[in-house]
Amino acid sequence: MILFVTLSCLATLLLLAVVAINVIRITGVLEGIGERPTSWLAKLRLGLRAIESETSQIAPEVTTLNSGLAAVDGGLRQVVADLGASVAALRKGQS
């Protein structure tokens, strides 16, 4: 029983050591990706900021556009009602 507990503890320590070593290796690789201003991560960050600044004006314009489209929708619904009434009046005249 003591042998089983000892082996379990050793296996747990080995697992933790492997995880720690790999975390250190991954951290080193990730630091290498983004530490220079010419790295891909820096270029990506710069591009995303440019997109964010270029598209920041869209939100207020969409609100204005939605208001205008709502007015157009109301006008078109009135046109449909008027055309329906005209068609009904023409059909009555043909009978």
Q: How far apart are CA 37 and CA 43, in angstroms?
A: 8
> What is the average pLDDT across 42-69?
90
At 45 the pLDDT is 86
Place of tokens 């591009």: 47
List alpha helices for the chain, DSSP H.
2-34, 40-55, 58-94
**Span 23-41, pLDDT tens digits:** 999 988 877 777 777 777 7
pLDDT category of residue 60 using cuts at 50, 70 and 90: confident
Domain residue ranges of the chain, discontinuous segments joined by +: 1-56, 59-95
% of residues, the chain, pLDDT over 70 = 99
Q: Evaluate if residue 51 carries a pLDDT over 70.
A: yes
pTM for the structure as a whole: 0.40
Three-state DSSP state, 79: helix
- CB count in 10 Å sphere of residue 57: 9
